[in-house]
Structure 1
C-alpha cells in the first residue's frame, strides 16, 4: 500500500507543479489544465502502470489524465497542426530559413557545403559510362549509355546492364581493402555478364561513384575516407586515405580497364541526373528516411573558407557550384513545434542536431503519430482506453504503416483496419473499431500535410536564395525544376501533390507565377547521376 500512496503523491505533486509552472508563464488556469490533459510529457507517474512505460518515454501513464471526447481531442490535434500550414506562417518560415542559409554560407562547417561539381551537364555528353552506387544495404553497378538531349524524350540515358548486390553483415565486416576488393569483384562480375556495351579492350571505361557515407572531398574524383558507421569496417586502417585511389587500386588488381572520374553524394547525383535531360534543373530534393537538398549557386556568394584548400585551377574554372545543403539541419528556433514534437525531441539522443528532419522525414512521421495516438488513447478513449503493447515502444508505429492507412479511402476502411490490426493488434483490449481507424488516419493526415508544407517552405527558401544570389526577381523567374526522389515523396499518398500545392502558393505569395517551380521525379537518380558526373568529368577534362 505504501508504494502506491507514495506514487500517487508524486502524481499530485507533478500535477500541481505543472499548473504553477504554466501560470508563471502567464497562461490561464484553464489553458494550463488543458495542456496537462493533452501533453505526453508533463505528468510522469512512476511505478503506477509498467505496461504503459510511463515515465521513460515522456508519456502520461494510463489512467493519470483527464478524459475528454474523441471529437474534442481531434479538434485539439487539428488546432495544433493546421496553423503551421497557413500561407502566412509558411512565408515567415521560408524567410527564416533563407536567412539561416545565408548565415551558414559564411562559416558553418556542417551545412551549405560546396561540392567539387562546378559544371552542370551540357546535354551533349555521349558514350557508355559505368555507375556505382554504394548505400547502407546495397551496392549497385550499372553500365549506362548517354545519348544526349537530342534523343527521344525519356531516352537520353539508357541502362544497358544493371546488377544489385546485397551488403549483408558479412560484407560489412570486410576490413579495409577487402571491402573495396569485394566491390571490384562485383564490378567485374557485372561487366563480364553484359551482352552489349563497352569493349573492355578499348580506352578505360569512365566511372562515377555515388557514395552515401562521409568523406572529406579533396577533388571531383578524390576524398579522404572517414568512418562509415552502420557496422561497416571498410575504413579500418584506412582512415584519411583517398577513396578514389582505394577503389581504383582494387579495380586495377583485377585487371579492370576502368577509371574513376567523379564521386558525388545522393543529392548532387539527383540534381545531375535530371539536369542531363532538362537544363532548367537547379535543385534536388531527397525525402525518405531523412531529408536533404542540393542547389546550384554562384561561387561568389560563399565566404572563401567554405571552399577549404582547392587548386587554383578549380577556382579559375568554377563560376557556379552544386551545393550539398544538408537541409535537415535547418529550422532551429523557427519550426512550428507542438507538444508531441517536444516529446519526440525530449526522448531523442540528439534533439537539436537535425531540426527539420524531426518534422518531415519518414524516420519520424510515424513516431509523431504514435505520440499523438497514445494521448488519444489515454484522454479520449481510443482503443477502449487500452494502449496496444506494440505501441508502447518508441518508433514502433512505422511511417509505412500510416502511409498504407492514409491510402485507404473506402467507406469501411477495411484495408486500413487490416494493415493496422496485422501490426498492432492488442490482446488486452477490444479490436480497433472504425472510429479508432478513422482517428488514426485523421491524425496521420494532419502530421503528413504539415510535413509537406514545411518541405515546401524549405524548397521555397532555396528558390528565394538562388533568386537573390543571381539577382532574379520572382516575377521574372523562369521555369525551374526540382528533381526529387525518396520513399516519402514517391510513395506517401498525396504528399508530393500537397508539397507542390504549398510550393505554388509560396511562389505566388512572393510575386512569382504558379508552377514556375516544379517538382519532378528523378528515376534511378543515384546511378544516372553518377554516370553523368563521370561523363562531365571525363569529357570536360
Structure 2
C-alpha cells in the first residue's frame, strides 16, 4: 500500500514538468503562432497573433510632453508624461477618476463625455489646458484594431455596458467628446493594449526590450515580429520592416492542444468559469485561477485523508475562498525554522479558512501544493516566452513584465529565469515594468510622433 507521502506525490505529479515536456509545450505554441500569422490558417488558429500597428520601440531620441489615458475598469487615469531626450525614464503626474455605475451602464456618449470632462479637469489642474499634446489611449477591452489610432470595441467586459459603443471606433468616440467640449485640444495618436504598454515602458531603459508579458489576473504576451512573417498584416509594408504582434496567448489550448496536460482540477475550474472552453492556457497560469487550483487540490487531499485529518471546513468547500495572494504569502516563508503555532503565516491562513484543526505537518503539505501549482505556472509562462525568443532568433532580448503574480510571488522571477535559460540559447533579461499601461501608452505615442517627424 502506498504511503501518505507517495499519495501526495501522485496527486502533485501532473503539475511537475520535466525539460522534455517543456520543450514539447514550446513546440506546440510555436506551431500555433505560425498558424496565427498565416492568412490561410489564421481563422482556425487559437492564438490570433493580432497586428498592433506599433512598428518601433523607443530609441532614446524621443522628447516632449505627452498625455496618456488608461481605461480598463471602473477607475481610469489621465497622465501627463514628460520625456527628455536620452533619458532612461520619464517624469509623470497623474490623477485617477472613478466612473459612476450610471455612466458605465448608460450611453456611450455619456461615458466619453465624462472621460473628456475629467481630462479637462486634469489639464486645468496641471496648468496645461492651452497646450496641445499627442495622446496615447490604453483601452483594455477586446478590440479589432485597424490602425494605430483605430480600434473597434468587440464587446464590453468588466461591468461596462454603455450603449452604442460595441462595433464602434473608440478613438473616434473620444475625439468626438473632446470636440463637443471645445475647451482643450489633443491629438489621439495611438490606442494600445496593456502588453504593448508594458513592453514600451521598459523599452526606454533597454532598447532590446522587444517582448511584453502580463502575468496577473490574466496572462498575455506581445513581441516584435518581422513584417515579412505577418501574412495577416493589412497595413502598408516597408520600413521599419517589423510590427508588434499581440498574441492573445491565453486562448492557447482551446482546440485541445493542451488536453493531455490538464489535470482534473484544471477541468473543474473551466467547468465553473464564465467562459467555459476558452482561455485554457491562461487558466493554467494566471492569478485569477491559481488560488482556486490550490483549494481544489487540498479538497481532494482532505477527501483522501492526507491533510487536516480528513476534516474540511465550509470555507475550504466554497469556491474562490483560497485567494491567490495566499499562495505568495505561504511561499514567502520556506524556512523550516519559521514561527510555529498561531504565528506561522500558513497556519494563520488555514485558521482564517476555518481549519483550526490544521497541524504543522498540514502546513508543510499546503506549502508543497502551493509550490507545485505556482511552479507549473512559471514553467508554462517560461515555455511560452522561450517559444517567442527562439522564433525571434536574436542573441539578446529583454522582456518587459507586469502583473500581480510576477510582482508579488517570491520565486516567480527566479523560476522563470532558470527555465528560460534551459529552453533558449539567448541572453534573456526579465524587467519589471513600472506603469506600463500609462507610461507605455505615452511612449507608443512618442515613438509614433518621432517616426512621423513630429518630435
- What is the TM-score when the length of structure 2 is the normalising length? 0.91
The aligned counterpart of 1:404 is 329
Q: 1:98 to 1:380 in 2, by over 3 A?
A: same
Task: State the SS of the aligned residue for 2:204.
Answer: helix
Contact 1:137/1:166 (<8 A) preserved: yes
Contact 2:151/2:169 (<8 A) preserved: yes
Contact 1:69/1:380 (<8 A) preserved: no
- Higher mean alpha-carbon deviation, 316-325 vs 177-186, is at 316-325
Q: Is 1:241 the equivalent of 2:178?
A: no
Contact 2:8/2:306 (<8 A) preserved: no
Cα distance between partner residues in 1 of 2:270 and 2:228: 37
Unaligned stretches of 5+ in structure 1?
1-29, 31-67, 468-476
The aligned counterpart of 2:42 is 108
Equivalent in 305, 327, 339 of residue 264 of structure 2? 339
Deviation digits for residues 472-509 of structure 1, max 9, x if unmatched?
xxxxx4221000000000111211111111111112xx
Equivalent in 175, 180, 183 of residue 112 of structure 2? 180
* Alpha-carbon distance, 1:164 to partner: 1.2
Task: State the SS of the aligned residue for 2:126.
Answer: coil
Task: State the SS of the aligned residue for 1:504.
Answer: helix
Contact 2:57/2:210 (<8 A) preserved: no
Q: Is 1:439 the equivalent of 2:365?
A: yes
Q: Is 1:230 the equivalent of 2:158?
A: yes
Contact 2:219/2:250 (<8 A) preserved: yes
The aligned counterpart of 1:449 is 375
Cα distance between partner residues in 2 of 1:464 and 1:338: 28
Listed as ranges, the matches of 1:50-449 within 5 Å are 70-82=4-16, 84=17, 86-106=18-38, 107-109=41-43, 111-148=48-85, 150-151=86-87, 153=88, 156-159=89-92, 161-194=93-126, 199-202=128-131, 204-234=132-162, 236-254=163-181, 255-303=183-231, 306-308=232-234, 310=235, 314-331=236-253, 332-334=256-258, 336-348=261-273, 350-409=275-334, 410-412=338-340, 414-422=344-352, 424-426=353-355, 430-449=356-375
Task: State the SS of the aligned residue for 2:190.
Answer: strand
Cα distance between partner residues in 2 of 1:500 and 1:441: 22
Cα distance between partner residues in 2 of 1:98 and 1:484: 20
* Alpha-carbon distance, 1:315 to partner: 2.6
* Alpha-carbon distance, 1:390 to partner: 1.3
Cα distance between partner residues in 1 of 2:103 and 2:347: 39
Deviation digits for residues 433-471 of structure 1, max 9, x if unmatched?
22222211110101111111111000000111222xxxx
Cα distance between partner residues in 2 of 1:279 and 1:146: 15
The aligned counterpart of 1:59 is none
- Higher mean alpha-carbon deviation, 345-354 vs 243-252, is at 345-354
Task: State the SS of the aligned residue for 1:143.
Answer: strand
Deviation digits for residues 355-388 of structure 1, max 9, x if unmatched?
2112111111112111110111110242232221
Task: State the SS of the aligned residue for 1:145.
Answer: strand
Instruction: Number of aligned residue pairs: give it.
Output: 438
Cα distance between partner residues in 2 of 1:455 and 1:377: 29
Cα distance between partner residues in 2 of 1:262 and 1:69: 60
Task: State the SS of the aligned residue for 1:537.
Answer: helix
The aligned counterpart of 1:490 is 407
- What is the TM-score when the length of structure 1 is the normalising length? 0.77
RMSD (Å) for aligned C-alpha atoms: 2.1
Task: State the SS of the aligned residue for 1:189.
Answer: helix
Task: State the SS of the aligned residue for 1:440.
Answer: helix
Contact 2:198/2:436 (<8 A) preserved: yes
Deviation digits for residues 277-306 of structure 1, max 9, x if unmatched?
211111011011110000100111122xx2
Contact 1:405/1:441 (<8 A) preserved: yes
Deviation digits for residues 337-358 of structure 1, max 9, x if unmatched?
2333233334445443222112
**Which of 1 and 2 has greater Rg?**
1
